[in-house]
Structure 1
Amino acid sequence: MEDREIKEFKEKYREIILKYLEHQDEEILYSCERLTREAMENRVSPEEVVNLHRSILEEYDADLPEYVSSSFDVLLEMMVGYGLAHMEHLSMRTEQMALRREIAQAEDMQKTMMKSDIPMVKGLEVGAVSVPMRQMSGDFYSFTNEGENKISVTLADVIGKGIPAAFSMSMLKYAADSYGGDTKTPSEMLQNLNAVAETNIADNMFITMFYGLYDTAHHLFEFASAGHEVGLYFSAKTRQFTDLYARGLPLGIDRSATYRAFEKEVEPDDMIFIMSDGVTETRTADGFIEREDLIAVFEERIDLPPQRLVKEVYDHLCKVQDYELRDDFTLICLKRV
């Protein structure tokens, strides 16, 4: 025995066809959209609709031409295939929605794990902005108190995209947090993390990292790089920018790699900029942004407080890319005050 809903659907469909054959009024067709929803809710298959349509026409006209009746066989076969494809689509959509929920949960977990508060340090102002290209980021930055009068700043970028890259970065942050807190030199920190990365990440991935140690008592900045983007140093006295250049293999390539540390004395109002390649590889309509053009963007905003400065730089570089990031974007600014 048919369900009441199915019977009601068939009667409504019959009424639509008979009225339309009699009046040819397009207003009658508008009710089909609502009826289509009812068919889906009641799991009425496309082939059932075709059979229903044929039976109504045969009732309407007992002398229905044979070729019209036979043509429904072709339509019926098409709808059987369509129905199967539609069911597969619905199944895939359900799986996709479940996957999106899982990715959203993973994103929330990553944000919690990767969260790093902007430090409040006497004699130092800090600004940071980090925006993922997709839901999950392959960049991470952190600030850690490293004993008396010292604070570390870390910025890393995994070479790779998607969830595997994001989880590799989460693993590295956990390792960095485990090693932090006992004032390791930048060289030691990168060597320790390189061993972790070489053992634990896939062969087709590697990680670049900039690690700096700021001595707030003597205003000395010690830093090292594992293949990371070159930072910038702004001298308030000369109003000039210079590179914070450091060499080193990315993490995860060679377990025996060593990393050389460099030092920079920081004068009052001097600024340090550390960034990921989402900043340096900003792509405009004319191609990748040149280094001097990027410096000009900083120069225009150099007198702003660090947090406002990095935010306005991000807004500008996002605008020149038509608000479509090509990579994860992270920019950090340290200013001696």
Structure 2
Amino acid sequence: MDNRDIVQKSYQSFLKQYLQKQDEQMLYKGQELSRRAIEQNISPEEIVNYHVSMLKETYPDLPKEVLVSFDFLLEVMISYGFAYREHQSLRHRQLELKTEMEVAANMQTTLLQTDIPSVPEMQIGALSVPARQMNGDYHHFTCDENNCLGVAIADVIGKGMPAALCMSMIKYSMDSLPETRMQPSAVLESLNRVVERNVDPSMFVTMLYGIYDTRVHSFFFSSAGHEPGFFYEAKKDRFAEISTKGVVLGVTRQASFEEYQLDVAPGDMIVLLSDGVTECRAGDEFVEREYIVDLIRKYMHLSPQEIVESVYDELMRLQGFELRDDFTLIILQRDV
């Protein structure tokens, strides 16, 4: 006797005992039996057939109306069974996809991981948080033998797995270009060709890449349509928007990128961010860029790392702890 036969015999036995005694213990056994039926993929309509078969055997003189009612119940259970099995199949696939996404997210975290380097006369703060499991933002630091700091921040216009794969491609393309790392415009031109050839036309990448030269305390950078950051001049105690030009990566193969320079005095700060920072919402309204500046100013007595973490916490509270877009915020500050 196989397991399905055992379930059928058990069902009919428990039902018969319950009809005779109305013992609640049989109801508990029925609940356990339902779990065994699911494990054996026994459909609801089969359970109804077990039920009808036992009743006919036990009560051969059942009214015709009662027997006919079971025909109606059987049809209902057939449709229910189909829907239930489809639901179980979709649930199983959803669990498989969730597991795959978790594995992919962990792999992406490992692949895109970057350490904040120790640079003389400089403090660095960075925080990147994905809105979903996969991060469509990318940031990376390098430091050469001259203690020159390279910093990249990018954002894929898109979300989910495609954006994450694109970010991984950008990362490894960056790693293959060490000889041009001191030329931000050349870096973006090379990456633009990679994106234009390999990324779907509906997906674009914004990016800012810069080099902070500690020998002359200047920040040289180029932008590919990336969200403008801020520059804080300590001497004047004011924030100014970092204004740049440049098309997003992947639009045209022949794109060129202008290079800019910021001279950084003691106490000055360079603020780089993704649009997930400036497009936070308070209710249905986007926050103003000035609000982000006010938050940074509020925590300027802290270290850059503490500033980015405090700004993130404030914006999360503002949004009811629901991050709607990938969040990346970087602060570079020259020591006083």
**SS of equivalent to 1:211:** strand
> What 5-or-longer segments of structure 1 have no aligned partner?
none
Pairing of 1:112-151 with structure 2 (within 5 A) = 112-151=110-149
Moved over 6 A (4+): none
Offset at 1:29? Answer: 3.4
Could you tell me which amino acid in structure 2 is paired with residue 316 of structure 1? E
Task: Please say if residues 180 and 187 of structure 2, whose CA atoms lie closer than 8 Å, have aligned partners that are also in contact.
Answer: no
Q: Paired residue for 1:272?
A: 270
Q: Paired residue for 1:153?
A: 151
Mapped to 1, the partners of 2:118 and 2:293 lie a distance apart of: 27
Cα distance change, pair 183–56 in 1 and its aligned pair in 2 (3 A): closer
Mapped to 1, the partners of 2:144 and 2:184 lie a distance apart of: 12
Please list the CA deviations of residues 11-62 of structure 1 after superposition, one character each: whole Å capped at 9, or x if unmatched.
4433543454455566753443322101112332222210111122223433
Q: Paired residue for 1:75?
A: 73
Mapped to 1, the partners of 2:299 and 2:179 lie a distance apart of: 34
**SS of equivalent to 2:60:** coil
**SS of equivalent to 1:37:** helix
Mapped to 2, the partners of 1:288 and 1:314 lie a distance apart of: 15
Q: Paired residue for 1:209?
A: 207
Pairing of 1:128-277 with structure 2 (within 5 A) = 128-180=126-178, 182-277=180-275
Task: Please say if residues 146 and 182 of structure 1, whose CA atoms lie closer than 8 Å, have aligned partners that are also in contact.
Answer: no
Task: Please say if residues 146 and 181 of structure 1, whose CA atoms lie closer than 8 Å, have aligned partners that are also in contact.
Answer: no
Offset at 1:92? Answer: 2.8
Task: Please say if residues 145 and 181 of structure 1, whose CA atoms lie closer than 8 Å, have aligned partners that are also in contact.
Answer: no
Please list the CA deviations of residues 153-198 of structure 1 after superposition, one character each: whole Å capped at 9, or x if unmatched.
0000010111111101111111112113544322111111111111
Cα distance change, pair 182–188 in 1 and its aligned pair in 2 (3 A): closer
Could you tell me which amino acid in structure 1 is paired with residue 127 of structure 2? V
Mapped to 2, the partners of 1:245 and 1:20 lie a distance apart of: 80
Could you tell me which amino acid in structure 2 is paired with residue 155 of structure 1? I
Mapped to 1, the partners of 2:308 and 2:96 lie a distance apart of: 36
Q: Paired residue for 1:291?
A: 289
Task: Please say if residues 147 and 181 of structure 1, whose CA atoms lie closer than 8 Å, have aligned partners that are also in contact.
Answer: no
Mapped to 2, the partners of 1:104 and 1:332 lie a distance apart of: 26
Could you tell me which amino acid in structure 1 is paired with residue 229 of structure 2? G
Mapped to 1, the partners of 2:287 and 2:306 lie a distance apart of: 22
Please list the CA deviations of residues 268-324 of structure 1 after superposition, one character each: whole Å capped at 9, or x if unmatched.
121111000110100111510011111111111111111111111111111111111
Cα distance change, pair 126–28 in 1 and its aligned pair in 2 (3 A): same
Number of paired residues?
335
**SS of equivalent to 2:201:** coil
Mapped to 1, the partners of 2:62 and 2:69 lie a distance apart of: 12
**SS of equivalent to 1:192:** helix
Task: Please say if residues 181 and 187 of structure 2, whose CA atoms lie closer than 8 Å, have aligned partners that are also in contact.
Answer: no
Task: Please say if residues 192 and 253 of structure 2, whose CA atoms lie closer than 8 Å, have aligned partners that are also in contact.
Answer: yes
Q: Paired residue for 1:32?
A: 30
Alignment match of 2:55 (pick from 45, 54, 57): 57
Task: Please say if residues 127 and 306 of structure 1, whose CA atoms lie closer than 8 Å, have aligned partners that are also in contact.
Answer: yes
Offset at 1:91? Answer: 2.8
**SS of equivalent to 2:31:** helix
Task: Please say if residues 123 and 333 of structure 2, whose CA atoms lie closer than 8 Å, have aligned partners that are also in contact.
Answer: yes
Could you tell me which amino acid in structure 2 is paired with residue 329 of structure 1? F
Q: Paired residue for 1:85?
A: 83
Cα distance change, pair 30–279 in 1 and its aligned pair in 2 (3 A): same
Task: Please say if residues 139 and 328 of structure 1, whose CA atoms lie closer than 8 Å, have aligned partners that are also in contact.
Answer: yes
What is the TM-score when the length of structure 1 is the normalising length? 0.93
Aligned identity (percent) is: 46
- CA RMSD in angstroms comes to 1.9
**SS of equivalent to 1:209:** strand
